[in-house]
Amino acid sequence: MGLTIGVDIGGTKVAAGVVDDEGNILDRERRDTPGNDVADIEAIIVDVVHALAARNDVDAVGVGAAGWIANDRATVLFSPHLAWRDEPLLAELAEHIELPLLVENDANAAAWAEYRFGAAQDEAVVVCVTLGTGIGGGLVAAGQVYRGAFGIACEYGHMTLVPEGRRCACGNRGCWEMYASGRALARDARELAQESPMAAARMVELAGSVEDITGPVVTAAALAGDPAARSICTAMGRALGHGLANLAAVIDPSVFVIGGGVSAAGELLVGPAREEFEHSLTGRGFRPAARVTLAALGPDAGLVGAADLARLQAAPRR
C-alpha cells in the first residue's frame, strides 16, 4: 500500500500526519483537544483527516485514541481525560470519512511504532510507557500487539503506586500517573511555586503565572539548568522507575521504551528512572534486566503506529 494517515488523540492535542511504509511523516496537522465535548473531538478528527487527504493520496486512516478500546476495535469504553463513555467512535467517524478506518488505543499504537521503526526493533517483548497528560501503556510480544480479553490491557498508569495516595481521574487513589505524568509534573511545580515562590521563580517567569505552569514549562526550565525544575524531574523519574520495576515483575520485558511528550526531558527523567528501576527490581542481581530507553520516535510514535496498523489492516490478504 501507499500512504496512510495516523491520528493521535491525547488529553491536550490532536496530532495527525501522513505516513509512508517506512514510518516517515510526510505531512502534518495539529489541533487542541476539546476534552469535554464528544462531538467536538470527533469533528476535529474529521477535520484533520480531510485536510491531509485533500493534499495527499492516502489509502487508509488509523486513529490512536487515549482511552480503553473494546476488542471490537470500534468502541471507546472509557477515557479518564476525555469525554468518551461507551462511544461508538468508528461508526461516528465512518459517517464522515470515506476511507478504511482503524481505531486503536494510542499507547498500543506508539508501542507498535517503536517495535516496527524505532527503539525496540526486533525485541522479543516490548513494553511502551507513554508519558503525556496521563500514562499510557502498550505491549508487543512475539510481533503482536497484546490487547487482553476485553481490549483494555496495559493501562499501566492506573496501577496503584501509592496506597491511598492522590485521587486519580479514573476514580481510584494513588495511581502511577498521579506521580509520573505531564499533569503530575505541572502540579508539583505549581505546588512548589505556591509554597516557595523564590524557588520556582524561573518556572513562573517562563509560564507567566503560577496557574500557567505546564509540563513543557517545567521541562524547559530543567533543561536550562533550573535547580527546582531538575529536582521535580528527578522525583518524577524515581516514581517512573519504581513503576517499571513493578511491571518487570509481571511482564518480564526485554525493553522498556519511554515516550510521550514528557519524555522530552530525556536523561533528566530517564536517568533517575533507570537508577530506581535497578534498585527496586525483584531479584536484582540474579536476573537479566530490561533496557530502559527513550522512544526513538518521540511524541510522533502514536500517529506513526496508528497509520502503520491501518495500513496492515487494509492491505489485501494473500
| CATH number of residue 10's parent domain | 3.30.420.40
The share of the chain scoring above pLDDT 90, in percent, equals: 82
Q: Are residues 133 and 22 in the same domain?
A: no
| Paired residues of 19 in beta bridges | 4, 25
Predicted pLDDT at 1: 66
Q: Are residues 106 and 36 in the same domain?
A: yes
The per-residue pLDDT for range 59-118, each reduced to its tens digit, is 999 999 988 999 888 999 998 778 889 999 999 999 999 999 999 999 899 999 999 999
Span 212-240, mean pLDDT?
A: 96
Q: Are residues 100 and 127 in the same domain?
A: no
Can you give the residue range of the structural domain that contains 281?
A: 122-181+228-295
Q: What is the residue-averaged pLDDT of the chain? A: 93
Q: Are residues 152 and 277 in the same domain?
A: yes
DSSP string of the chain, one letter each residue? --EEEEEEE-SSEEEEEEE-TTS-EEEEEEEE--TT-HHHHHHHHHHHHHHHHHHS-EEEEEEEESSEE-TTSS-EEE-SSSS-EEE-HHHHHHTT--S-EEEEEHHHHHHHHHHHHSTTTT-SEEEEEEESSSEEEEEEETTEE---SSS-TT-GGGSBSSTT-SBPTTS-BSBGGGTSSHHHHHHHHHHHHHH-TTTTHHHHHHHSSGGG--HHHHHHHHHTT-HHHHHHHHHHHHHHHHHHHHHHHHH--SEEEEESGGGGGTHHHHHHHHHHHHHH-TTTTSS---EEEE-SSGGGHHHHHHHHHHHHHHSPP-
Q: Are residues 247 and 133 in the same domain?
A: yes
Q: How confident is the model at residue 318 (pLDDT cuts 50, 70, 90)?
A: very low
Span 229-248, mean pLDDT?
A: 97
User: Grid coordinates in use for 260?
Assistant: 510521550
Asked whether residue 174 is domain-assigned, the answer is: yes
How many domains does the chain divide into? 2
Q: Is the per-residue pLDDT at 12 higher than 80?
A: no
Which residue would you say has higher pLDDT here, 110 or 317?
A: 110
Q: Are residues 156 and 28 in the same domain?
A: no
Rounded CA gap, 217 and 24, in Å?
28
Q: Are residues 21 and 159 in the same domain?
A: no
The per-residue pLDDT for range 31-44, each reduced to its tens digit, is 988 867 889 999 99
Span 309-315, mean pLDDT?
A: 90
Which residues, other chains included, contact 225 with Cβ-Cβ below 8 Å and sequence gap of 6+? none
Asked whether residue 205 is domain-assigned, the answer is: no
The least confident of 10-19, 116-125, 167-176, 308-317 is: 308-317
Q: Is the per-residue pLDDT at 317 higher than 60?
A: no
Asked whether residue 222 is domain-assigned, the answer is: no
Q: Are residues 103 and 45 in the same domain?
A: yes
Predicted pLDDT at 33: 82
Q: Are residues 161 and 266 in the same domain?
A: yes
Q: Are residues 278 and 164 in the same domain?
A: yes
Q: Are residues 98 and 233 in the same domain?
A: no
